[in-house]
Each structure stands twice: as structure tokens, then as C-alpha cells.
Amino acid sequence: MTAKSLLPAMALALCWFAASTGYCANGTADPTQARDFSAATLVKVTPGQTTKAQIEALLGKPWRTTFADDSDEPGPVVWEYRGENANGTYRVHIEFDSHDITALIAEIPDSTGEAPARVAKTPPVPGKP
């Protein structure tokens, strides 16, 4: 086996060891692993203002992308993150409007399976942050 062929295996091994901390070898968060999104971080998300790009910069790539299911047709885009802290595991659920601005964010503990969401106080104006 050549050194070149060993590189992918080494990268994979690094990622494997790093997975327990939720980070891969390149320093980006592994979205499949639960992480602690602190309250101080999540409060920076302002419905009606925070863009999708800002969410990604703040929280990393989502674990899963879906669409809100409240009609026969696909609704707003939803980004989901797996969270974990001293109180247990939880889900961060973020819905975007058609302009890729956060419309709703909720932190839902797995233990209760429910939580109220934070939403924009007034409907966001298209094109304005």
C-alpha cells in the first residue's frame, strides 16, 4: 500500500476519533453528532432577521433539511440540528421564509418533545434585514 492510498484511510480515522467530540478532521462540525448549542448562541438567532447564511456561520451545516409539513404542498424549508447538554438531548428546529430569513426557531428537548417557538414579532419585509 502506498502512502498516497493511506491518506483517505488516515482522514477517515481522524474523523472517526473526532466524531466523539462532534468535529471532523477539517475542523467543521459533524452534523450527525449532537452538540451543545449554548443558549448564548441560539439567542443570537433573531426571527425575521437572521439569514440562512448567518445560521450556517453560527451553527454549522444542518443535520437534516426538510420542509414544514402543515399542508399538502411542501411548506417552508426547515433546518434541524441535534443538540445535547447537561439536561439531555434536544433538537434545534429552524424554519426559513421564502427569502431565506429565519421565520421560526425552537429548541425542543427530547424528554418532553414539545416547546414554543420564537417567531418574528412582525412579518419580515422582503429584502430588508
Please report, as ranges, the residues that interact with another protein according to CB under 8 A. 31-32, 61, 63-74, 78, 80, 82, 89, 91, 93, 95, 104, 106, 108, 110, 113-117, 119
CB 49, min distance to another protein, A: 16
State which residue, 122 or 127, has the beta carbon closest to another protein.
122
CB 107, min distance to another protein, A: 9
Amino acid letter, 6: L
- CA 52, 58, 63, 64: dihedral to nearest 10 degrees? -10
CB 119, min distance to another protein, A: 5
Nearest to 24, CA basis, from 35, 38, 39: 35
State which residue, 88 or 129, has the beta carbon closest to another protein.
88
Strand partners, 77: 67
Nearest to 111, CA basis, from 93, 92, 95, 88: 88
State which residue, 113 or 127, has the beta carbon closest to another protein.
113
CB 80, min distance to another protein, A: 7
Residue 127 near residue 83 (C-beta atoms within 8 A): no
State which residue, 21 or 65, has the beta carbon closest to another protein.
65
Residue 124 near residue 97 (C-beta atoms within 8 A): yes
